[in-house]
Amino acid sequence: MEIRLKGWDRKIIVDTGITFAELLEKNFPHLLEKVVAVKVDGQLKDLTAMVEDEGEVELVEYSNEEGKEVYWHTSSHIMAQAVIELFPQSQLAIGPAIKEGYYYDIDLPRRLVPEDLPIIEEKMREIIERDLPIKRMQMRRKEAIELFRERRQNYKIELLQEMEEDPVTLYQQGDFIDLCKGPHLPSTGRVREFKLLSLAGAYWRGDESRAMLQRIYGISFETKDELEEFLHLKEEAERRDHRRLGKELDLFSFHEEAGAGVVLYHPKGAILRRIIERYLEEEHLKRGYQMVITPHLYRGDLWRLSGHMDYYKENMFTFEKENAEYVVKPMNCPGHLLIYKTKPRSYRDLPLKFFELGTVYRYERSGVLHGLLRVRGFTQDDAHIFCAREQLREQVYECLEFAFSALKDFGFSDFQVNLSTRPERYVGSDEIWEEATEELAQALKDHAVDYTVDPGEGVFYGPKIDVKLKDAIGRLWQGPTIQADFNLPERFDITYAGKDNRPHRPVMIHRVVLAGIERFLGILIEHYGGALPLWLSPVQVVIVPIADRHVECARHLNATFLSRGWRSEVDDENQTLNMKIRRAQLQKIPFAVIIGDKEVQEGTISVRTRSGEDLRNLEKDEFITRMEKKIQQRSFDEDW
């Protein structure tokens, strides 16, 4: 047989009955320790698979995303084998590779504690040192059920009973056998550096009425340096965790009595949110958007018209009252469409831009809720642009420009752009989808925006552009989205009068700039580690009188700052100066102004910056002038 290696300018003649690992050992022995799998005509396969057909073969290394998935999936099996050897009564559920590492959900005879993780790690090292061959097996589904019944693995039996495939695929390493499609590494010894990270609870199948399992998270790498770098970044991420900082800085809270996924903003958190909302209102008005407000509640029929009842109902809160069905809105778009329909529209009105800080509610399973980053109730900086088809590209570009400009104002400058295409379930014709997708792609190309295609990740009514922003420690977060929608204008039968006085169908652009305010706040807090820039800080200045005799002067100075619109306060508690300064630093307040005898006598101030810089004998007017400049310029500079 003759095969071609992708990326290599050569063809190889292969004997029948040879595996890909043997092919590598014969022709590319120096790659044997780097390659973790192969891709044959687009399909991932084990290195232990036989070379069966002629065609193109791609060598998949750990550095490739698919290579990491193979590496991490094998690591999850090693972890599960270690747990079974330590706790033979354990029942295995599922253990996939995820975005960073892997996990396995397991029903154990007792609750694990963090001190168990090093014990499991030690057992994993033993399994790796055994260098057990990993073998792929195919078995009739009925036989696989009997196999797992003998092993008392009830979750595997449940999965098998629901499968349509027959035969099914299993993988074996030593005495350990798991239900899995693969592919996997050739042997357990190929996993080099690893670490078990944490424990969590997870309901079986994500169903709160089913058993609570124990989830063990882990990560693995080819080198020790990679592992140490990952652990360093993880430690930094934990230090920046917005949930902890939100509590320490008294910004927001969550309460079981209120329900999962709903946020309560404390005074400082409400101030921070209002700063962002005012910014958004001002920037939208500058760009010709018109403010609208729509209700939180609609009749169910409206969501049938929009298509949400058919494609999004599982994420909606619905209820009945007076024999009518109502929905707490998960989206703002139907309301904006109804406003559009209230009067005739002309081509002269287009593009028509409606903007709303609209609060929406979506059902998310409790297991995926995560502080501000994943909630059930949130507010979007939501806008809908109604335009003619020939205006679409330019309007998409303006949305991108707005999004990039706004994100840079908040300190984000590195982005990744994806074009998300038609999902499996969608409304509208294929022709409409193709046209909408092409228009978005062309808008990106026309304006030299680099992007990658994300197949199948569009929303049910149209393709979209997703902008991901990179934070201070290199993590990517979902941010702005721009969606081209030819379908809802059709469903709601909206038109405008063209130059020919005939009715035409507009295109509807759905777009958010910062996206959900809650999510953006969480990202913002983690990006800055809670030390927000001066213009965003809920408290910009705290005035610290050294003794009671200095309080009156401090209050007078505070009144001056407040009159300028600054967010200022006086710390006049009966504590030492050092304790007050320490409190200001823990609260991450940018400037602490100190008032003592010398400052009162000379009419000056002393300042301690958040970064620890001491500024003595400053003129008040000089301080005010420089502060005003920093605030107006939205400066990110920590230095005075």
Question: Among the options 81, 173, 214, 380, which is catalytic?
Answer: 380
Please give the full DSSP string across 383-416, using - where no structure is assigned: EEEEE-GGGHHHHHHHHHHHHHHHHHHTT---EE
Specify the DSSP element, H or E, that contains 111: none
- At position 479, the amino acid (one-letter code) is G
- At position 295, the amino acid (one-letter code) is P
**In this structure, is the dihedral angle defined by the CA atoms of residues 567, 571, 577 and 579, taken in order, positive or negative?**
negative
**In this structure, is the dihedral angle defined by the CA atoms of residues 199, 183, 171 and 204, taken in order, positive or negative?**
positive
Active site (annotated) includes residue 384: yes
Question: Among the options 123, 268, 384, 393, which is catalytic?
Answer: 384
- Cα separation, 29 vs 31, in Å, equals 5
- Cα separation, 319 vs 321, in Å, equals 7
Specify the DSSP element, H or E, that contains 289: none
**In this structure, is the dihedral angle defined by the CA atoms of residues 324, 328, 334 and 336, taken in order, positive or negative?**
positive
Question: Among the options 73, 242, 308, 510, which is catalytic?
Answer: 510
Q: Which of 166, 192, 169 is nearest to 179 (CA)?
A: 169
Question: Among the options 46, 116, 381, 382, which is catalytic?
Answer: 382
- Cα separation, 41 vs 354, in Å, equals 47
- At position 97, the amino acid (one-letter code) is A
Print the SS3 string covering 483-523: EEECHHHHHCCCCEECCCCCEECCEEEEEEEEEEHHHHHHH
**Integer CA distances (angstroms), 538 to 160, 251, 266, 524, in order:** 55, 9, 11, 13
- Cα separation, 300 vs 250, in Å, equals 39
Contact 466, 417 (CB under 8 A): yes
- Which are the contacts of 513, defined by CB distance < 8 A and separation ≥ 6? 280, 283, 381, 383, 402, 403, 406, 480
Question: Among the options 123, 240, 336, 464, which is catalytic?
Answer: 464
User: What's the chain's length in residues?
Assistant: 640
Active site (annotated) includes residue 362: yes
Contact 96, 154 (CB under 8 A): no
Active site (annotated) includes residue 464: yes
Question: Among the options 242, 284, 362, 588, which is catalytic?
Answer: 362
- Which are the contacts of 301, defined by CB distance < 8 A and separation ≥ 6? 325
**Integer CA distances (angstroms), 385 to 287, 378, 391, 639, in order:** 12, 21, 10, 41
- Cα separation, 156 vs 149, in Å, equals 9
Active site (annotated) includes residue 382: yes
Q: Residue 274 pairs with which residues in a beta bridge? A: none
Question: Among the options 105, 215, 333, 399, which is catalytic?
Answer: 333
- Cα separation, 106 vs 90, in Å, equals 7
- Cα separation, 149 vs 598, in Å, equals 83
Active-site positions read 333, 362, 380, 382, 384, 464, 510
